[in-house]
């Protein structure tokens, strides 16, 4: 398969903002793809070579990409840098220079998907002495044989900035139509993806074996399951009513959510973004190995920083020190962790994701050998408002964020990859004016003036709407950023810059700069108000009005542990607004 076919499809997809048209174009590409290459095409369309949990990235910095382009085009690096300053897009710059390159290769070969993928794979696996030169030579070789359009998408791919606006759910829709007989196959393909987290493998099995092959997907140790997410409500009365009058309430610990996979003595930890983070937590690995009695298991836990002298839990921010690559033993001593287990998804050959929550909880308790540093999440079963409120206050007093309240009904399965009303967050600050933080996605920016000239004066932030798979603007934020933040933000966001509003962003405002929805910030505001300008939860409270956060302030926390789709939802903003109204009316 010629790589030109992919480049042509990408150009058409990039040119549209219509989701259905984007899906149709993707369906067309998938149908043109040979079955033995479809996994590679899907990975490349995701801007990667493997699923996240493999942990292998192409790893080409912009500096190296410039050197490779200079070699392939026969131009000076300074010329390319100058053009890049104007275009702001390494892909556009590559297209410009390859179109007018001075060196002509007489034995130029058309690029194929196989060659592109294998070369990028070789680049990703090249390490050690001379790795930079080897990667540059490999990339320059591809660029030398590339057409201008191919060069554009090659460079975007290797630098991690493909920027097509295609979400995984769009790929699943396209796969269901192309190979599953229609959108009715979407549920099966999504289930396979949710328990394998490998979109390329789902595509290959569907293309080669059809829906019968998809039905054979099973939960497997060391293939992380996409995490189940919770909705949010603001009072114990509402929570109990929503959960049928009775629920299990668990402490919501202020830590990093991890999915622990164990097979014999081998243990791997995955983050909520399904990345292998075992290197950050060798002590947690040892704790799982010692305290999980099952031979094979997939368990979910909150990894919490603790003071071993007092037993007190420390805030989430202290775990950021565990992200460094070096001196991890020193970090383990300074910032030790405990594990609070809260779900069992698989134990010794049994898939528990389709079992009701009480069954999973019992399985968790059965395989866990508790200690001071490994425990099942503290919980109660209750149908009483006063008891739930008292347990909530107890959780807050012990340093937790609040509670997660869980359905105990027959349908309380583990909804992998979904956000639903089987789990509901209850956090303290929802009961008053907006003193609780929210996690919002950066979708645009406005140029700074005066002291902020040359950087961004404010960022346009959005909440996520899972029903429409879009990002709805809720505020502009220019407060709380340090001088260092302001200096670094343009560089931090540069790789996400796109020429126009993203197809998944709903905004009536015109930003000076638009971004693909990637970076998540923690924001604290004064209150939530009705707004004719912002699109968050438009028409849900009053026709013609959305919701906006007034006087927002950046807390200093970049939520790198969260994907854009894990951000605070529009529905949660609505519930927070309604909570405010109740607070005011009862005052």
| Residue 514 to residue 510: CA distance in whole angstroms | 9
| Residue 130 to residue 134: CA distance in whole angstroms | 6
C-beta separation of 517 from 563 below 8 A = no
Nearest to 266 by CA among 283, 286, 247: 286
| Residue 143 to residue 119: CA distance in whole angstroms | 11
List the structure tokens of 83: 């053009």
Which of 149, 252, 406, 501 is labelled catalytic? 252
| Residue 287 to residue 301: CA distance in whole angstroms | 12
C-beta separation of 113 from 37 below 8 A = yes
Positive/negative CA dihedral, 167, 171, 172, 173 = positive
Nearest to 559 by CA among 551, 550, 568: 568
Active site residue 252: yes
Please list, in sequence order, all residues whose beta carbon lies within 8 angstroms of the beta carbon of residue 62, skipping any fewer than 6 positions away.
84, 90, 159
| Residue 298 to residue 253: CA distance in whole angstroms | 19
Q: What region does 41 belong to: left with phi over 0, alpha with psi -120 to 50, or beta?
A: alpha
Residues in the chain: 587
Nearest to 436 by CA among 565, 522, 339: 522
C-beta separation of 448 from 526 below 8 A = no
- Listed in sequence order, the DSSP H helices in 398-482 are none
C-beta separation of 303 from 258 below 8 A = yes
Q: For the purposes of burial, counting CB atoms within 10 Å of the CB of 411, is it exposed (0-12), middle (13-18) or buried (19 or more)? A: exposed
**Residue with structure tokens 């289930």?**
191
Q: What is the dihedral of CA 229, 231, 235, 237, to 10 degrees?
A: -100
Positive/negative CA dihedral, 88, 92, 96, 101 = positive
- Backbone phi and psi for residue 473, each to the nearest 5 degrees, phi listed first: -65, 145
| Residue 328 to residue 333: CA distance in whole angstroms | 9
Active site residues: 252
């Amino acid at each position: 398969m010629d790589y030109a076919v992919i480049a042509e499809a990408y150009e058409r997809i990039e040119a549209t903002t219509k989701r259905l048209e984007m899906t149709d174009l993707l369906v067309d590409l998938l149908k043109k793809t040979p079955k033995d290459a479809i996994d590679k095409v899907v990975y490349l369309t995701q801007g990667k070579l493997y699923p996240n949990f493999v942990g292998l990235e192409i790893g080409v910095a912009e500096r190296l990409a410039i050197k490779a382009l200079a070699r392939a085009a026969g131009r000076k690096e300074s010329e390319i840098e100058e053009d890049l300053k104007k275009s702001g897009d390494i892909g556009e710059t590559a297209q410009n220079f390859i179109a007018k390159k001075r060196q002509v290769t007489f034995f130029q070969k058309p690029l194929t998907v196989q060659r592109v993928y294998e070369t990028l794979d070789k680049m990703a696996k090249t390490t050690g002495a001379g790795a930079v030169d080897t990667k540059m030579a490999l990339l320059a070789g591809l660029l030398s044989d590339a057409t201008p359009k191919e060069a554009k998408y090659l460079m975007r791919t290797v630098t991690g900035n493909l920027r097509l606006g295609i979400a995984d759910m769009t790929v699943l829709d396209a796969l269901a139509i192309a190979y599953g007989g229609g959108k009715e196959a979407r549920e099966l393909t999504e289930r396979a993806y949710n328990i394998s987290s490998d979109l390329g493998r789902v595509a290959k099995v569907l293309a080669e074996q059809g829906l019968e092959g998809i039905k054979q997907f099973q939960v497997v140790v060391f293939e992380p399951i996409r995490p189940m997410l919770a909705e949010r409500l603001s009072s114990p009365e509402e929570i109990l009513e929503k959960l049928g009058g009775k629920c299990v309430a668990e402490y919501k610990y202020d830590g990093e959510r991890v999915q622990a996979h164990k097979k014999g003595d081998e243990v791997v930890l995955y983050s909520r973004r399904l990345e292998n983070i075992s290197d950050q937590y060798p002590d947690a690995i040892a704790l799982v190995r010692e305290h999980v009695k099952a031979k094979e298991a997939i368990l979910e836990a909150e990894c919490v920083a603790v003071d071993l002298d007092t037993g007190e839990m420390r805030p989430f921010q202290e775990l950021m020190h565990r992200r460094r690559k070096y001196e991890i033993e020193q970090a383990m001593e300074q910032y030790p962790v405990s594990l609070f287990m809260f779900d069992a998804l698989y134990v010794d050959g049994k898939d528990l994701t389709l079992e009701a929550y009480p069954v999973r909880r019992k399985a968790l308790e059965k395989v866990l050998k508790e200690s001071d540093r490994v425990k099942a999440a503290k919980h109660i079963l209750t149908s009483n408002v006063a008891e739930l409120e008292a347990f909530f206050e107890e959780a807050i007093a012990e340093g937790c964020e609040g509670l997660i309240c869980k359905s105990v009904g027959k349908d309380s399965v583990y909804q992998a990859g979904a956000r639903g009303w089987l789990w509901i967050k209850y956090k303290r600050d929802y009961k008053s004016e907006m003193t609780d933080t929210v996690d919002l996605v950066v979708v645009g920016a406005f140029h700074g003036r005066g002291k902020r000239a040359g950087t961004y004066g404010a960022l346009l932030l959005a909440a996520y709407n899972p029903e429409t798979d879009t990002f709805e603007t809720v505020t502009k934020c220019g407060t709380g950023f340090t001088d260092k933040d302001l200096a670094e933000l343009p560089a931090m966001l540069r790789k996400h810059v796109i020429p126009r509003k993203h197809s998944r962003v709903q905004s009536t405002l015109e930003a000076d700069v638009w971004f693909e929805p990637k970076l998540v910030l923690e924001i604290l505001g004064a209150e939530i108000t009705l707004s004719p300008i912002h699109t968050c939860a438009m028409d849900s409270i009053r026709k013609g009005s959305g919701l906006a956060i007034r006087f927002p302030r950046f807390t200093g926390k970049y939520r790198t542990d969260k994907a854009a789709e894990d951000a605070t939802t529009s529905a949660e903003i609505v519930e927070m607004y309604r909570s405010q109204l109740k607070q005011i009316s009862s005052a």
